[in-house]
């Protein structure tokens, strides 16, 4: 295992694959990527499952059978997704155990229709958790106000959670505070804080896409990476400082930042920009196949997060001085991201009606 992707591991970052399908799992490709590339996890979303179910004939027999039953489209979709997620969890089980529960996670998202319903999100998360019934499952929840409430409760209940659609520092700090509160709830309830894995998914390329046209040339393509590096500095302060010390002593693990939306949308930028510039300890990057192929071909692994040549706070100040309110942009991007998830989910449910 010594290709460009696998070299990232030496700098303390985990690479997850942002893709899943029944054909992919049956082909042995996931095992192969785990072996050759060091792939350490898998994420899914409604758009990924739409593509899989609409193009992979392996789903058709199960879908035909499900259509003979009195089920809603949501129940049909979840029945198919659960098969794949459970299978992926089993494929990654050995890695999960050999890494002492650090690696080998597979994410499954709750319905985006529940994004403003904390109780509904908790109920759905528990149902999916029970249905998959694998310890390396990770429930994916969007970071809305309701999602933050649900996330704290899911941590209190001991579930692994991927909290997603983070676009600014404020949203990210709210998630970290909810994680700490969930751990505190467990301590107060006499429950262990060991063995719970959560990640905070911070989206990148969509930020640059949203702000570049408002910025001078020298600042274009720098917003997402600067905010991400600033978030990483905040992460270090929280999880390697006094705030987390108590929980660390009890065996809790930090909530890593996970870099998402890492496929480059602007063709003027490097196609591995959002990988190369954000490699560092205690982080994860979830990467689509095409971007992984690019990095495998010409990416350079380096410890970019610990060797900032430019203080990200300075770049963020310049962006704000140029008239861009990054907090406001982050809120809008989260709303847009939710709508994209809802639209993809609606298409998915139409497919299995």
DSSP 1-15: --STTGGGGGGTEEE
Contact 264/291 with Cβ under 8 angstroms? yes
For residue 142, list its beta bridge partners: 164
Residue 262 φ/ψ, nearest 5 degrees: -100, 5
Contact 39/9 with Cβ under 8 angstroms? no
Annotated catalytic residue, options 36, 90, 123, 140: 140
Alpha-helical regions (H) of 158-277: 169-188, 205-211, 223-239, 242-249, 273-276
Residue 140 is among the residues annotated as catalytic for this protein: yes
Buried/exposed 270-285: b ≥16 CB within 10 Å, e otherwise = ebbbbbbbbbbebbbb
Contacts of 146 (CB under 8 A, 6+ apart): 114, 115, 116, 117, 118, 121
Residue matched to tokens 């758009």: 47
Structure tokens of 210? Answer: 């949203």
Residue 201 φ/ψ, nearest 5 degrees: -85, 110
Residue 253 φ/ψ, nearest 5 degrees: -115, 150
Contact 258/284 with Cβ under 8 angstroms? yes
Cα separation, 317 vs 320, in Å, equals: 5
Cα separation, 181 vs 262, in Å, equals: 30
**3-state DSSP call for residue 285?**
strand
Helix (H) or strand (E) holding 125: helix 118-132
Cα separation, 182 vs 172, in Å, equals: 15
For residue 137, list its beta bridge partners: 106
Active site residues: 140
């Amino acid at each position: 295992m010594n290709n460009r992707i696998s070299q990232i591991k030496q700098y303390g970052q985990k690479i997850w694959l942002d893709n899943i399908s029944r054909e992919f799992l049956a082909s042995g490709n996931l095992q192969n990527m785990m072996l050759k590339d060091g792939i350490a996890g898998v994420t899914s979303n409604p758009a990924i499952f739409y593509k899989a179910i609409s193009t992979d004939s392996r789903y058709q027999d199960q879908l035909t059978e499900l259509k003979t039953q009195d089920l809603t489209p949501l129940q049909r979709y979840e029945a198919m997704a659960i098969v794949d997620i459970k299978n992926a969890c089993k494929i990654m089980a050995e890695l999960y155990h050999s890494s002492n529960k650090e690696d080998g996670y597979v994410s499954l998202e709750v319905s985006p229709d529940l994004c403003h319903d904390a109780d509904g999100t908790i109920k759905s998360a528990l149902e999916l958790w029970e249905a998959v019934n694998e310890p390396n499952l990770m429930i994916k929840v969007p970071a809305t106000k309701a999602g933050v409430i649900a996330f704290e409760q899911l941590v209190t209940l001991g579930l692994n959670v991927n909290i997603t659609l983070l676009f600014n520092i404020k949203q990210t700090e709210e998630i970290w505070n909810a994680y700490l509160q969930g751990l505190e709830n467990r301590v107060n309830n006499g429950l262990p804080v060991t063995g719970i894995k959560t990640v905070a998914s911070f989206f990148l390329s969509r930020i640059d896409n949203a702000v570049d046209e408002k910025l001078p040339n020298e600042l274009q393509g720098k917003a997402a990476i600067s905010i991400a590096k600033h978030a990483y500095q905040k992460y270090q302060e929280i999880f390697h400082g006094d705030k987390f010390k108590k929980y660390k002593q009890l065996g809790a693990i930090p909530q890593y930042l996970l870099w998402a939306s890492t496929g480059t949308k602007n063709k003027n930028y490097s196609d591995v920009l959002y990988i190369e510039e954000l490699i560092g300890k205690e982080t994860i990057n979830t990467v689509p196949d095409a971007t992984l192929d690019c990095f495998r071909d010409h990416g350079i692994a380096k410890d970019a997060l610990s060797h900032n040549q430019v203080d990200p706070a300075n770049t963020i100040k310049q962006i704000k001085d140029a008239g861009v309110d990054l907090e406001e942009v982050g809120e809008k991007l989260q709303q847009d991201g939710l709508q994209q998830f809802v639209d993809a989910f609606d298409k998915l449910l139409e497919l299995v009606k």
